[in-house]
Amino acid sequence: MYAHRLLPVIAALALFSCSPRIVSAQSNADWEWVGDSFPSTLHEMFPLEVPGTYVAYRSHRDLYTDTLEYSFVIARDASANGSSEPRFVAQVRQADSISIYDQMMALHRKSPNRSAPSIQKELRLRTWTLAETTCPAVRAQLLKFQQLRLVPPEFDVIVLHPLIHEFHVSAGMGNMEVVLYDEDNSFVQWAVETSRALELCTTNHQ
């Protein structure tokens, strides 16, 4: 009698013990797909290369996918070509509430057969355009950047799953591409300070 009562329990336990393996297999496939598709999507949605003279910055987190992807580009204002003095404008981008990575994961799990370009059309992004005429921090931070001195990264330090800071610079005397993990680096500190100053401008103009 007791054996019959135990059969449903044993069956349920067997199903429970097997189900994580099935979920794990699906999850691994999902992680692999998003991992392969994410870099190109990041470059498309947060570009670091634009025409002309500019300073561009982008940040995203390795492994910890709840961190919102972010970028800004400070470049010459093409609409002010007739001005006697060059004017600058900042283009700011940030994932809307949920990281682009997690948005991609959710949409892929919902429709596994959709392509990355198709999914990209539904990804939510917040953008701002800030001119130095209404946001003086644009020019002020650009001038500060020109005073920075880049310290080479240390060779004997390993950072696991860091916040990745990318910089692209195009100027009259040359170009620069730098990727840093050191939060104390002067370039990174400048980027954090700049993002806060630009955010203050967006708050004041809402």
Is 66 part of any domain?
Answer: yes
Tens of pLDDT along the chain (206 residues) come to 433 443 333 333 333 333 333 334 347 888 899 999 999 999 999 999 888 889 999 999 978 888 999 999 999 887 766 556 778 999 999 999 999 999 999 999 999 999 999 999 999 999 999 999 999 999 999 999 999 998 888 888 888 889 999 999 999 889 999 999 999 999 999 999 999 999 999 886 55
| Domain limits for position 198 | 38-204
Is 4 part of any domain?
Answer: no
Q: What is the 3-state secondary structure (H, E, C) of the chain?
A: CHHHHHHHHHHHHHHHHHHHHHHHHHHHHHHHHHHHHHHHHHHHHCCCCCCCCEEEEEEEECCCCCCCCEEEEEEECHHHCCCCCCCEEEEEEEECCCCHHHHHHHHHHHCCCCCHHHHHCCCCEEEEEEECCCCCHHHHHHHHHCCCCCCCCCCCCCCCCCEEEEEEEEECCEEEEEEECCCCCHHHHHHHHHHHHHHHHHHHCC
pLDDT in tens, 14-30: 333 333 333 343 478 88
Is 85 part of any domain?
Answer: yes
Is 87 part of any domain?
Answer: yes
Is 64 part of any domain?
Answer: yes
pLDDT in tens, 77-104: 877 665 567 789 999 999 999 999 999 9
Please report the pLDDT score of residue 86 as a whole number: 76
- Domain count along the chain: 1
Is 5 part of any domain?
Answer: no
109: domain CATH number is: 3.30.1560
Is 197 part of any domain?
Answer: yes
- The model's pTM: 0.82
Is 8 part of any domain?
Answer: no
Rg of the chain in Å (alpha carbons): 23
